[in-house]
């Protein structure tokens, strides 16, 4: 049986605990009120940086065996295999704002929204007269091409053997596009992904991929998508570990896919690599540097440094990834992103 003193002690303890709980609740509410807007602002800033950095990939491009880079004055430098005129050594002059490299052809977006094409045109993927229109983004696959219109719809041309480039185009409210060997991806404004074309390895599920993504990349037979929080989703062929089903965790700001390898740019400027490394295109330890953009080709990789210089690694059988880039970097490349 409790004595009056015991009862009084218990009441005092209850009051003390109640006061403590209320004090903690007030303190917690204060922390939320003070720090939540700051946290939201930080998250928003990180998301904007991630979206902006992912767009920087338009300044460099890696095709099957050739490479392109946009110079500060809008001209394009080309190197590597030029068997079909896809990489003229003298480069291509005009006022360009974005580039894309495919299997054996190249595309460039002019400031007026029209597209220049050169290289292999066996399937109509690179009409010599170019493609007129009011476009804001371009993508080049093995033998097909995509262009994003200002209204969010997509124009397609070139090979359509697997439905990767329907001549009527693809309607929708899209904000980004990517072309793989024989499949295509498009990022909707709501962060989900539409897929069409070859799905033999699960690289382009017809139902698409739900999620809150900010960037996409289509490789030979695999696909990647950058999540808003910085992790990466992967699907499709994974013979060389290029598309691990569980994805890749990290604080990434840009992604790129090659023949059977993948790259991701970290916030700190270094590059993570995975997948096939037969030609040194995806060193498991990654590549250290102050990079702002990346590109992955058939068997080689490129990265653009913050100071406008290019780094190359991987196969250089056709001069697409020279170890000595002094001559190439004699004139700085474009580091800013032009949004049309």
Instruction: Give the chain's mean pLDDT.
Output: 89
Assess whether pLDDT exceeds 70 at residue 207: yes
pLDDT interval class at 37 (50, 70, 90): low
pLDDT of residue 58: 84
pLDDT interval class at 4 (50, 70, 90): very low
pLDDT of residue 21: 62
pLDDT tens by residue, 243-270? 999 999 999 999 999 999 999 999 999 9
Mean pLDDT of 172-182: 96
CA contacts within 13 A on the Cβ side of 67: 31
Q: What are phi and psi of 202, to 5 degrees?
A: 80, 15
pLDDT of residue 35: 46
pLDDT tens by residue, 54-91? 455 689 999 999 999 999 999 999 999 999 999 999 99
Going across the sheet that includes 105-110, the strands are 96-101, 105-110, 115-119
Q: Domains along the chain?
A: 46-330 (2.130.10.30)
Nearest to 166 by CA among 182, 155, 152: 155
pLDDT of residue 332: 87
Measured distance CA(301)–CA(281) in Å, rounded: 6
Mean pLDDT of 319-323: 96
From first CA to last CA, the distance across the chain in angstroms is: 82
The CA distances from residue 277 to 71, 159, 249, 263, in Å, are: 29, 29, 20, 12
pLDDT interval class at 336 (50, 70, 90): confident
Mean pLDDT of 108-136: 97
Assess whether pLDDT exceeds 70 at residue 25: no
pLDDT of residue 49: 46
pLDDT of residue 43: 45
Mean pLDDT of 179-192: 96
How many residues in the chain?
340
**Within 10 A of 23 (CB to CB), how many other CB atoms are there?**
10
Is residue 325 a contact partner of residue 302, using CB atoms and an 8 Å limit?
Answer: no
pLDDT tens by residue, 272-301? 999 999 999 999 999 999 999 999 999 999
Model's pTM, two decimal places? 0.85
Measured distance CA(82)–CA(119) in Å, rounded: 8
pLDDT tens by residue, 95-105? 999 999 999 99
Assess whether pLDDT exceeds 90 at residue 174: yes
User: Over pLDDT 90: what percentage of the chain?
Assistant: 79
pLDDT of residue 12: 59
């Amino acid at each position: 049986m409790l004595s009056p003193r015991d009862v009084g002690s218990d009441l005092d303890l209850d009051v003390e605990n109640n006061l403590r709980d209320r004090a903690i609740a007030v303190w917690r509410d204060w922390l939320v009120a003070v720090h939540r807007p700051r946290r939201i602002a930080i998250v928003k800033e990180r998301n904007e940086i991630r979206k902006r950095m992912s767009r920087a990939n338009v300044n460099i491009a890696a095709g099957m065996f050739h490479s392109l880079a946009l110079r500060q004055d809008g001209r394009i430098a080309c190197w590597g295999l030029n068997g079909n005129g896809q990489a003229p050594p003298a480069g291509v002059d005009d006022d360009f704002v974005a580039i894309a490299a495919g299997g054996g052809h190249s595309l460039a977006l002019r400031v007026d929204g029209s597209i220049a094409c050169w290289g292999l045109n066996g399937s109509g993927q690179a009409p010599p007269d170019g493609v007129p229109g009011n476009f804001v983004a371009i993508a080049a696959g093995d033998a097909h091409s995509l262009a994003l219109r200002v209204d969010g719809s997509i124009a397609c041309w070139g090979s359509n053997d697997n439905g990767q480039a329907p001549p009527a185009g693809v309607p929708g409210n899209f904000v980004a596009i990517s072309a793989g060997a024989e499949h295509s991806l498009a990022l909707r404004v709501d962060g989900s992904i539409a897929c069409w074309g070859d799905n033999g390895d699960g690289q382009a599920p017809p139902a698409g991929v739900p999620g809150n993504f900010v960037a996409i990349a289509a490789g030979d037979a695999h696909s990647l998508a950058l999540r808003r929080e910085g992790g990466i989703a992967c699907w499709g062929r994974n013979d060389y570990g290029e598309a691990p089903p569980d994805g890749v965790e990290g604080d990434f700001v840009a992604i790129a896919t090659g023949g059977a390898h993948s790259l991701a740019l970290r916030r700190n400027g270094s590059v993570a690599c995975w997948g096939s490394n037969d030609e040194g295109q995806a060193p498991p330890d990654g590549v250290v540097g102050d990079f702002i953009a990346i590109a992955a080709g058939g068997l080689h990789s490129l990265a653009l440094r913050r100071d406008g210089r290019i780094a190359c690694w991987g196969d250089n059988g056709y001069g697409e990834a020279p170890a000595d880039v002094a001559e190439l970097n004699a004139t700085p490349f474009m580091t800013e992103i032009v949004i049309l």
